[in-house]
Structure 1
Amino acid sequence: MERAAGPTGGYAEDAERAATEALVIVEPMTPGRARRAAGIVGMAGLLGEAREHLDRRGGTVVLTGPPGIGKSTLLERLAEGYAGHTVLRCAPAESESQLPFLGLIDLLSTTGDDVLDLLPGHQRAVLRSALLRGGDPPPERGPLPLRLAVLDLFRVLCARSPVLLVIDDAQWLDGPSAELLAFVARRAAGLPLRALVAVRTDPRGRYDAGFCPGPVHALNVPGLTVTEVSQLLGDRWPRPVVARVHEVSGGNPFFALELGRALAESPPESTDDELPLPDSLRDLMLDRLGTLSEDARRTLLTATAAARPTLRLLRAAGRDGADEDVAAAVRDGIVEIGSGEVVRFTHPLLAAVVYAEADPGERHAAHAALAGAVTDPVERARHRALIAPGPDAELAATLDEAAVAARRRGAPAEACRLGRLAAEHTPPEDTDGFVNRLLTASEDAIAAGDLPESRRIAHEALAVASEPAQRVRGWLAVIDSAGQALAEFGDIFPRALADAGDDPALLAPLHYRLAWRAWLVEGSAFEAHEHAARSAELAARAGDRRTEILALAKQAHLAFFLGRPDAERTLARALSSPQDPRVMVDHNGPAFQRYRHHLLADRLEEARAELRSLIYLVRRRGAVESLCHCLHNLARVEVHRGRCDRALDVARQSLRLAEDSDLSQGPSWFSLALAEAAGGDPERAADAARRAEQHSADDGDLLFLPQAWFVAGHIHLMAGRNEAAVALLRRVRRSEEAQGLGDPAMRRWHGDLAEALALAGHLDEAAELIEETRARATRLERRVMVAVMDRAAALVAAGRGDHATASALARRSAMALAELPFRLEEGRSWLTLGRLRLGQNDARTARSALREARRVFAHAHARPWLALVTAELDRVRDLDRAQAPAAPSAALGDLSAMEAKVAALVAEGATNREIAARLFISVKTVEAALTRTYRKLGVRSRVDLARLASSPRTPVQDPPPDDA
């Protein structure tokens, strides 16, 4: 039997095509060019942290990492942000590290003689001599005169403008220059002197930054992710190949590009082939390995072939001198010994070169020895497969068993690899066994998040399969590998339905996928609900409880979306016995719908507990897509709970997982935008919203596209761009009402749209939306939505001039939300009340409401909202000043500036510890200032001081703005 390679051709053909289209590097690639080619993708967090340290604390940021990781490019990008500084640069080289003062000469190369002429004559002479600028030799000898001259020069430069030192490859800085900079650094307190330094770490991650002005903040430059490596290589290679490049390169962009060039020149014939190693990297690594003895090299070869090489395993595999061999490699910095005596290479490329340089016979011997030494059945089967050529029915069955074991232990990627090996060793006459093993491997690839590989394997199976059940199973794998991007696979469904015929067992899973397509691509919850109900009915007839549970869960979700009264009954049917353990941890299963039900009913703690339990189980099972969905939904729950830092962390986890697994990124970008808007940075939030829209539009995902518009509109509303918010949120309303949205708690955009309409002057439209939403929310017992509608109604009342009703509604909203777990909504209602009272020039009531908002947002770490509250509190203080008489109080006039600041913060209700933190002084200093203030003003308590300081007749010096 001749097996076809599939409708798209064989892997070797694809690889040859990729080789002609892949990135071809004509010029020699350098580490700096490598990172520039990679871009600054994924480095926004590191760049932001570096800038924040320099801007807020000064001192030095040190970028650390191995050669080629991109430190130089990041250094250049950071330096671009300091145009108003005097920037002094040097980039020493290893060959120049013994030349004294060369680093100082480079740093001061742009400092003209006009600056040196500002120094005293003897210092000028000493410095000109050290900088090789001619002149008579200095009369004084010894290091101190030069040190003092350099220190005074930096003082002169800093008096003109802030100074930024940019030192690249600082490990090669000559000793005399480093010593002079260290002398300056120890005496730089008070000077506007900052430094950006890139330094190469040694094999153990150590570096020297003793010459840097403090405080020193070290940031290790991370390697690229799998997705970034794929982008770097032009997105041309199958996911397993890219993953191998990422593994071998350690995420180093320079190494990854070199490997990519070798791939383009010598494409592998299958995804399991070893990567071709370019001469540049092979020579670099061979220099490190050159000191090894022959015995040590063979011991390390055995270590590279093992999944978890321990000294005990190496001895069991026949390497009797393993202890001595490994000890020698440790001394040379090639390997290190971890916990449990595990032997780890200090860089994956070292292991790759050891394996690549061995001849086939040596590799075969290493795998054969390990097959007899390892006790794990999965690893034993893998070694046996690597040394057994050709078809072998017994080996194929052993590999099947190993794949089952890998699947049970939550390693679907390994199960996929073993399943493909089992198919390769299947005898030609066993067509059914070959197809079934491929299809199982394709399903494992989906669970592992490797969607392109799943699709490739499924097409390989479909090229051979003739049985309807096998063909439908193959089409299902192709459909499931689409993720959210089902729009691209519309032509698959007719072919799959034709193969299914009238068999309910085959039709049921197809109708379940058709429900998803109608929901995601066609935007019709009504049609999707019909397909889900049809799938559940067919599955029940066929006795397919697994598909029945999934279909019932989807039917319940759509019923909730439509606001149907039978939603809870349908969910109860999905949750009833018998259950399927795999479905219960699936993001489309009934447990996930139970989380949604908790969220709809405003039970945030129960929703969070359900998701956390699912995440724990999904991590153990290894279903990547389910984990990604659970994480991005947990991020949204944490936003609602007012745990903004936690929301940001979880949303970023979800996005990294989506990027690394080639999953649709729209949902994760949406959750990240929501988390950034709540507790991060508004600009990052807007960028994430744009990316959410782009990915959802590219995928044809009508489910998340309106949510991307919603978060963008939400960001506009926060920024006061009311008309822009209205435009986007109206689009959301049109889209989701066309889909059939009946429960406002499913999406929660209604409050933002009503507020934006009211603030933009569209009062009648806002009132109509509020009335309609409040009626639905009341019928469905969605208490949070009712309270949010009260807040929006307050703005409508204010717009119509009914300020008493507006204040009453805003207060009612805040008080109702204080009894519910949606913390940010509570804070927003207090903020609205404060703004309304401020608009009526009622500073006292406004201040009280805004302090409540500040309390809620501060506890939630909701930084953008805190900034808005701070701005409103500034307006309250402006109102106080405007209402106060021109003549200041004589009593408060006796206070010092520090005492006046302390008094003002006491008036705001701050504790001594909070005052100390805001004014950057100690608690004891606050207590002393209060004691003096009491004595000067003749008061005895904080209450008296607050009353006096808050009096409109007694203006006080404003405290510094609150740190949002």
Structure 2
Amino acid sequence: MHVKSVSRADGDVRAGAYPRAELLVLRDFLKETEQGNAVAAVVTGTAASGKSELLHAFGQQCAEAEATVLSALCVEAEKDLPLTALFQLFRGPALSEDLRVKAADLLTRAEETGLTGRPSTHLMLDLLELVRELAARRPVVVLVDDFHHVDTPSLHWLMFLMRRMRTMNVLIVLTESLSAKQTLPLLGAEYLRLPHCRRIRLKPLGRDEVARFVPPGQDDTLVQGLHELSGGNPLLAQALLEDLRASGVPLAPETRPIPGDHYCQAVAACLQRGDQDTRTLAGVLAVLGKGETVCLAVRVAGMDQRTAGRAITLLHQVGLLDAGWFRHPMTVTAVLADVPVPERARLHERAAVLLHHDGAGALEVARHLVAADRAERPWAVPVLRTAAELAKVDNQTSFAVQCLKLACRSCGDEALEVEMVTQLAGLEWRNNPAVGAVHTDHLYEIFLAGNLPVRAAAILVRFLLWHGRTGEAGEVLDRLATMEPSADDRTEAELRITRLFILCSYPVLRDKLPAPAAKDRVPAQSFDPNVQAAMALSRIVTNGPDDDAIASAENVLKSIQLGDTMVESVRSALFALIYADRLDKAVPWCELLQQEAADCDAPSWQAVFAAARAEMALRQGDLVTAEKQAKAALTFITPQSWGVAVGVPLATLCLAAVGMGKFEEAAAHINQPVPASMLQTRFGLHYLRARGRLYLETDRVHAALGDFVLCGELSKSWDFDLPVLVPWRGDTAEAYLRLGMPEKAKSLLDEQLAKLAGSTSHVRGISLRLKAKIAEPQKRPELLREAVKIFQAGGIRLELARALGDLSRAHYTLAESGRARTVARQAWHIAKGCHAEVICRDLRLDGTADEGKPVSTTADIAASSVERELIESLSEAERRVAGLASLGHTNRAIASKLYITVSTVEQHLTRVYRKLDVNRRRDLPSWLQVSVVNSA
């Protein structure tokens, strides 16, 4: 009988069609069968490589070609059920009703005999005769999927058929998985000697074959991504496309596949179709992680090299691995989903044991101990401690914390546990002081039990004070005062740091301080940067700035290496320079430390240095930077995590907002909840002053006066009565002026100026500016010019704008309108550069600018056309250099700010002097300073 043939053109594959070239090979086998040449083919491939799809597509084409198709699907669960495959083959719709009945009768009688092995010869011959009868009419195609799971009686009959089909129009196609552990030696032996038997090996899809899955019009990006992530596995490629559709991302040029749930399900399916060894090794690889070798995974899995090698090869062939590791993180996720949590812990522990015995590094071993959450072996705690130290050096803070937590739980030595808990508190503080409070509680419990050593108790006091727990800190200090002095230099250093810490920040606890060590012990500690920094801040806060304290603070910043035990010391050194009015030294160090803290990924450190930088910017009059840095300080860690020290960034943020006229924002900042004990600390002085300034600028003068007076009372009672810390006298005097009480204001300003005798501090400039308000009109310009010089020399732009504004008013009072307008314009530009809207508004209200509006260019500040010509004669670089010089900066400072050499500065100044016809920098006109403001 003629059989309809299928041409190759009919099998051209388009998007959505089956993309296998092997389909053409099977059609060639069908043609051979049509010509009377029987063929038996075995299609092999890894799990999910497309064997079933190939068999299904070929079966459809055979049916279309009017061949008789007998098909069966073998599954592992039915492998022990005799004749399962044969029942499927002979019950198909391709058989006539009488043949189906005849075959069923034969198989049923055989089943009733309890057949488990080789069928009887009569049964095999009778079934063979049925096939021969079918093949006489048209070609017969026998398709058996997953043949490696075939039941034994069916296997014997299929082998019987293959040996006798040579002269029959029969094509047999079997699929066999390379992922199946067991093999069929009987089938292998038959293939070696039967000339009509063929083998087809399904390889991963090539890039062009994967492209046939993709709708037309897509560029190579999607195809390349599909091929890379699937490894040519059709099941994975189709799953990736399903995930892409489910994601809702429209297909466009450069669209890449996004592995999701469908992909994970496909990965799980690939593993489930493989054998147990392959699944086990995949799970071990996923559990151990990319950093470990395949060799270690094999040892952890307990496999022999041959079995492991076969499993690794199959994982590569199935498309899950590439160069020894999973193709995508989602692949790992999918594999891990089938590994129970207890099993993961067991595997990690076994890996840790093997690595430790191999002499691996502490970090490598500890990673598996932490993942296993077990440290029961005697060597585990020392390994975890070493790993924590190494991780801390590498800025792996979270991992160091995990190591120490596990070590603490597994440690049987109480003294060692205390040491580790203290380390933990410091490490957790680096990320979030609020979390570190948990370990502070633990240390306090140990203290109450009487088991806390002196050194740990000294550190505990500082932790407690940070969180505002003054009462508990006092209890610890009381106990420390009764303890025997330590002969350990490190312990005495910690005690001394705590003493100084309290002296300069928590004065209410001064009477509880334990006695210091003998004088002969002090030199040994003097080299400790922690002690040096604390001493420098304490001296400046209690006695005022001096050269030795400033030098000590600088030495700390030059020599110290940032670390958990050093951050407070670095902060102390920075604030020592801030209170000493050495912002020129403090700012570069702070910016360098900010970068280092960012590199270390330490939020608490970043917050501390941002707060310090904000305070520096505020004192310089850079309100925008002050606001930005203060907000950053309260973002890196929450206000709650700041403890009592929150007073500093909150105060800075409030004062910056006040300066910019953002009074509602300032109120929102200053009205945040703060610890009650904050007002018992140095940080509370900053807070009180900021709140008072807000009240003053919003016309709540009596409320402001109350805060300023309280600030003064606390400062005096704590011996912190230094204008460089909080200039409460000047603030109180300003409030008295608003209330029309100039005599009281004058008395306070005279006191403040007396304390600042011989100082060039910006606070002295503020005092002079305020004193000018109550001086005789003829004396005001002189006082204000002196204040302007101080602000120019220090680069304090906000106060410079205020002083110039007052100087303009003083000139108007003396009927010097020309000078008044020029100075007012200069004041407006500087204030505008500082975003000090309040000052700008006041200048406009005074009518000190033409038509009520200040001019906005440097040229407009010059009163004459000659001055305009002089301005235009200077290059931009010359104007910048001359402007900084007119503000009082040295040549070296100008070179540093503009990133040029000192020689270049000198050359620019020489040309400026010649063009402006002046001989020295003090003769430079003041309008040059606007160039600096406009370019800032």
Alignment partner of 1:794: what SS? helix
- Partners of 2:390 and 2:561 lie apart in 1 by 16
Q: Which structure 2 residues correspond to residues 733-882 of structure 1 after superposition, within 5 A?
A: 733-779=712-758, 781-797=759-775, 802-836=776-810, 844-859=818-833, 862-863=834-835, 865-876=836-847
- How far residue 608 of structure 1 moved from its aligned partner, in angstroms, is 0.7
Deviations 1:246-285 (A, max 9, x none): xxxxxxxxxxxxxxxxxxxxxxxxxxxxxxxxxxxxxxx9
Query: Does the aligned pair in 2 maintain the 1:555–1:570 contact within 8 Å?
Result: no
Deviations 1:806-844 (A, max 9, x none): 344334422442232111111111222344556778765
Letter in 2 for 1:814: V
Unpaired runs of at least 5, structure 1: 1-200, 209-284, 331-339, 882-899, 912-961
- Partners of 2:427 and 2:854 lie apart in 1 by 64
- How far residue 312 of structure 1 moved from its aligned partner, in angstroms, is 9.0
Query: Does the aligned pair in 1 maintain the 2:533–2:573 contact within 8 Å?
Result: no
- Partners of 1:382 and 1:606 lie apart in 2 by 43
Query: Does the aligned pair in 2 maintain the 1:539–1:545 contact within 8 Å?
Result: no
- Partners of 1:662 and 1:355 lie apart in 2 by 37
- 2:367 aligned partner: 382
Deviations 1:781-817 (A, max 9, x none): 23422222111011112xxxx3232344334422442
Q: Which structure 2 residues correspond to residues 29-178 of structure 1 after superposition, within 5 A?
A: none
- 1:441 aligned partner: 424
- 2:647 aligned partner: 666
Superposition TM-score, scaled by structure 1 size: 0.51
Alignment partner of 2:395: what SS? coil
- Partners of 1:777 and 1:619 lie apart in 2 by 38
583, 587, 602: which is aligned to 2:581?
A: 602
Distance 1:354 1:608, change over 3 A: farther
Alignment partner of 2:637: what SS? helix
Corresponding pairs, count: 586
Query: Does the aligned pair in 1 maintain the 2:692–2:707 contact within 8 Å?
Result: yes
- How far residue 756 of structure 1 moved from its aligned partner, in angstroms, is 3.0
Distance 1:412 1:857, change over 3 A: same
- 2:566 aligned partner: 586
Letter in 2 for 1:509: E
- Partners of 1:204 and 1:540 lie apart in 2 by 73
- Partners of 1:458 and 1:378 lie apart in 2 by 29
Unpaired runs of at least 5, structure 2: 1-243, 252-259, 273-278, 299-310, 865-933
- 2:476 aligned partner: 493
Superposition TM-score, scaled by structure 2 size: 0.52
Distance 1:305 1:725, change over 3 A: farther
Query: Does the aligned pair in 2 maintain the 1:313–1:373 contact within 8 Å?
Result: no
- Partners of 1:322 and 1:822 lie apart in 2 by 72
373, 383, 391: which is aligned to 2:376?
A: 391
Q: Which structure 2 residues correspond to residues 285-684 of structure 1 after superposition, within 5 A?
A: 292-294=267-269, 358-364=339-345, 367=348, 377-387=362-372, 389=374, 391-426=376-411, 428=412, 430-453=413-436, 455-456=438-439, 459=442, 463=446, 470=453, 473=456, 476-477=459-460, 479-494=462-477, 496-497=479-480, 500-503=483-486, 505=488, 509-510=494-495, 512-517=497-502, 519-523=504-508, 527=510, 531=513, 535=516, 537-538=517-518, 541=521, 545=525, 549-563=529-543, 568=548, 572=552, 575=555, 581=561, 586-589=566-569, 592-619=571-598, 625-659=604-638, 662-664=641-643, 665-679=646-660, 681-684=662-665
Distance 1:722 1:808, change over 3 A: farther
Letter in 2 for 1:401: T
- How far residue 731 of structure 1 moved from its aligned partner, in angstroms, is 2.4
- Partners of 1:793 and 1:643 lie apart in 2 by 24
- How far residue 688 of structure 1 moved from its aligned partner, in angstroms, is 1.4
Letter in 2 for 1:813: A
Q: Which structure 2 residues correspond to residues 933-944 of structure 1 after superposition, within 5 A?
A: none
- 1:40 aligned partner: none
Letter in 2 for 1:769: L
Letter in 1 for 2:468: A
- Partners of 1:470 and 1:903 lie apart in 2 by 66
- Partners of 2:610 and 2:422 lie apart in 1 by 28
- How far residue 680 of structure 1 moved from its aligned partner, in angstroms, is 7.6
Distance 1:735 1:205, change over 3 A: farther
- 1:707 aligned partner: 686
Which is worse superposed, 700-709 or 658-667?
658-667
Alignment partner of 1:746: what SS? coil
- How far residue 361 of structure 1 moved from its aligned partner, in angstroms, is 4.7
689, 700, 707: which is aligned to 2:670?
A: 689
Distance 1:464 1:552, change over 3 A: closer
Query: Does the aligned pair in 1 maintain the 2:554–2:573 contact within 8 Å?
Result: no
- How far residue 764 of structure 1 moved from its aligned partner, in angstroms, is 0.9
- How far residue 875 of structure 1 moved from its aligned partner, in angstroms, is 4.4
Letter in 2 for 1:293: A
Query: Does the aligned pair in 2 maintain the 1:810–1:833 contact within 8 Å?
Result: yes
Distance 1:488 1:369, change over 3 A: same
Deviations 1:835-856 (A, max 9, x none): 4556778765443232112211
Letter in 2 for 1:367: H
- How far residue 858 of structure 1 moved from its aligned partner, in angstroms, is 2.7
Query: Does the aligned pair in 1 maintain the 2:440–2:460 contact within 8 Å?
Result: no
- Partners of 2:792 and 2:845 lie apart in 1 by 25
- Partners of 2:601 and 2:526 lie apart in 1 by 19
Deviations 1:346-402 (A, max 9, x none): 9xxx97x99687413542366369767998742541213443746211122211211
Query: Does the aligned pair in 1 maintain the 2:611–2:633 contact within 8 Å?
Result: yes
Alignment partner of 1:293: what SS? helix
Query: Does the aligned pair in 2 maintain the 1:459–1:474 contact within 8 Å?
Result: no
- Partners of 1:515 and 1:310 lie apart in 2 by 49
Query: Does the aligned pair in 2 maintain the 1:585–1:614 contact within 8 Å?
Result: no
> Which one has the largest radius of gyration?
2
Deviations 1:470-515 (A, max 9, x none): 3652563364254151414245325642673333545663464355
- How far residue 405 of structure 1 moved from its aligned partner, in angstroms, is 0.3
Query: Does the aligned pair in 2 maintain the 1:484–1:520 contact within 8 Å?
Result: no
Letter in 1 for 2:403: L
- How far residue 637 of structure 1 moved from its aligned partner, in angstroms, is 0.8
- Partners of 1:342 and 1:626 lie apart in 2 by 38
- Partners of 1:363 and 1:584 lie apart in 2 by 33
- Partners of 1:815 and 1:788 lie apart in 2 by 12
Percent of aligned pairs with the same residue? 16
Relative contact order, CA 8 A, sep 6+: which one is greater?
A: 1
